[in-house]
Amino acid sequence: MGHRKNHAIAIAAATIVASTTPANTEEPSGVHPGPMTRQEAFARAEALTALGRQMFFDSSLSASGKQACSSCHDPNHAFGPASAAPVEMGGANLDQPGVRAVPSLRYLQAAPAFTEHFYDSEDEGDESVDNGPTGGLTWDGRADHGKDQARIPLLSSFEMGNKDAAQVVASLRNAPYAGAFKAAFGADVFDDQQDAFDAAVEALGTFEQSSADFYPYSSRYDAFLAGKAQLSAQELRGRMLFEDAAKGNCASCHLSEPANDGEPPQFTDYGLIAIAVPRNPAIPANADPNYVDLGLCGPLRTDLKDRVEYCGLFKTPTLRNVALRKSFFHNGYFHTLRDAVAFYASRDTDPGRWYPKKTDGTVDKFNDLPKAYWGNLNTDPPFNGKKPGDKPALTDAEIDDIVAFLGTLTDADQAGQ
Ligand code: HEC
Ligand code: HEC
């Protein structure tokens, strides 16, 4: 697994569809405006960002009238959850439990569209290395862009719970920003429900590309990389262990150094990987022993359901702002950052610490991944083919050091800074 190219600049720029041709006299209209000058394109991006921001905080866009995007993606928690619950409630009566932990929405601007075969020009000079399934949004990469993703929570029965696009559009018509919506997308935008819904998710997707909100790069580690702050001795040790391929080896997936073009690190390579986090009995869906969240092969994602080699794979999240979280991994099983890190060190050397016991007293190892898929598990360091009784890749003190380092990744505008 090599270091992967950073797409931040290309993707951020791509949302602003600026034309290099001379000024076009045609008025931009409707959801798909014609060619625009650079100035017009920037003005449109700004208008859509402002609209998307209003929509993001608007609870009237939910069936309950009480849930906005920001209810789960709290701006004071890096657009992750404020609560410690592994999953949030949604639906018309806010009584339908979700099935996965709420991710932070920061540092997604650079996520490439999902692909089964990712090749990277920064891969140790070798572009022919296939890094496997990579990219996309959500824990299983099933949406490619913010505007595709935003359809999911608006219409999900356990999120904002609208029964269809028409219900969302009816709420938009009555929103205080309905006038601004028409100004941006055309006076007749509400005449066509699908156009209006497409416009709404486009505005949300554009807002998610706003750098001040979503990728400020204002952590102490960013200041350190820029030569403007120092890290403590412990944080520096943690950084070394995080990057050391024979110790934490964390940086092989959670990239921690600036890319060749100088773009700051995202702390993810967007790869989809199986690490067998313990099953979380606190998720109501898990009361059914036949329900298993297998990530890339389903059941939420349906296009790759026959690909057994993809069962158990979830997207590597950024570790920026991870210290703000109160539950960790796709199923929110762990509730302290220290446990999340310690799990890597002793998943294989001391599985009894992490997995429950079966009725016969033996450890129910990898209890959220059917045995048929165990071959999909990642075995690179820190796991490294170790077995019960072997020495873990990290000592307790080294785990503390890595946790201290992760604390430097919190953005300056966030609580606890
Ligand atoms: C009830 C809680 C809830 C609400 C409300 C909600 N989300 Fe989410 N969001 C989640 C969860 C849970 C996931 C992970 C889903 C998955 O992996 O299937 C997620 C994932 C995402 C992602 C992908 C993040 C990533 O790391 O790839 C984006 C983007 C997003 N939500 C945006 C939104 C927007 C925009 C809204 C409002 C229209 C919204 N969400 C409303 C819970 C919520
Ligand atoms: C082989 C790739 C890989 C390596 C190496 C790796 N991780 Fe991860 N990391 C992942 C994936 C994939 C997930 C999500 C897995 C899931 O939820 O099932 C994850 C999730 C996490 C989370 C939870 C974040 C959240 O938002 O809930 C933390 C914390 C974390 N990793 C820290 C580390 C540390 C510390 C190391 C080194 C000791 C490390 N990782 C090594 C791939 C990796």
Q: Judge if 169 and 106 occupy the same domain.
A: yes
Q: Judge if 242 and 350 occupy the same domain.
A: yes
Lining ligand 2 with CB less than 6 A are: 248-250, 252-254, 273, 275, 277, 314, 316-317, 319, 322, 325, 328-330, 337, 340-341, 344, 378, 380, 382, 402
The domain in which residue 103 lies consists of 38-123+144-214
Q: Judge if 250 and 102 occupy the same domain.
A: no
Domain of 210: which CATH number? 1.10.760.10
Structure tokens at 73: 């993606």
pLDDT tier at 14, thresholds 50, 70, 90: very low
* Inside any domain, residue 405: yes
Rounded to the nearest angstrom, the distance between the alpha carbon of 73 and the centre of ligand 2 is 20
Rounded to the nearest angstrom, the distance between the alpha carbon of 282 and the centre of ligand 2 is 21
Among the three residues 188, 214, 240, which one is the final residue of a domain in this structure? 214
* Inside any domain, residue 269: yes
Pocket test for ligand 1, best of 88, 93, 159, 208 (most atoms within 8 A of CB): 159
Residues 6 or more apart from 384 whose CB is under 8 A from it? 348, 393
CA–CA distance from 244 to each of 82, 251, 398, 409 (Å)? Answer: 32, 8, 12, 18
Q: How many domains does the chain have?
A: 2
Nearest CA to ligand 2 atom 37: 250
Pocket test for ligand 1, best of 104, 105, 320 (most atoms within 8 A of CB): 105
Among the three residues 169, 196, 214, which one is the final residue of a domain in this structure? 214
Please tell me the pTM assigned to this model.
0.93
Distance CA 402, CA 220 (A): 15
Residues 316-358 have pLDDT tens digits of 999 999 999 999 999 999 999 999 999 999 999 999 999 999 9
Residues 243-275 have pLDDT tens digits of 999 999 999 999 999 998 999 999 999 999 999
Distance CA 1, CA 147 (A): 30
Residues 137-161 have pLDDT tens digits of 999 999 999 999 999 999 999 999 9
Distance CA 182, CA 84 (A): 39
* Inside any domain, residue 134: no
* Inside any domain, residue 183: yes
CA–CA distance from 358 to each of 177, 319, 349, 355, 367 (Å)? Answer: 56, 33, 18, 9, 10
Q: Judge if 228 and 372 occupy the same domain.
A: yes
Residues 183-227 have pLDDT tens digits of 999 999 999 999 999 999 999 999 999 999 999 999 999 999 999
Rounded to the nearest angstrom, the distance between the alpha carbon of 398 and the centre of ligand 1 is 33
State the pLDDT at residue 248. 98
State the pLDDT at residue 385. 85
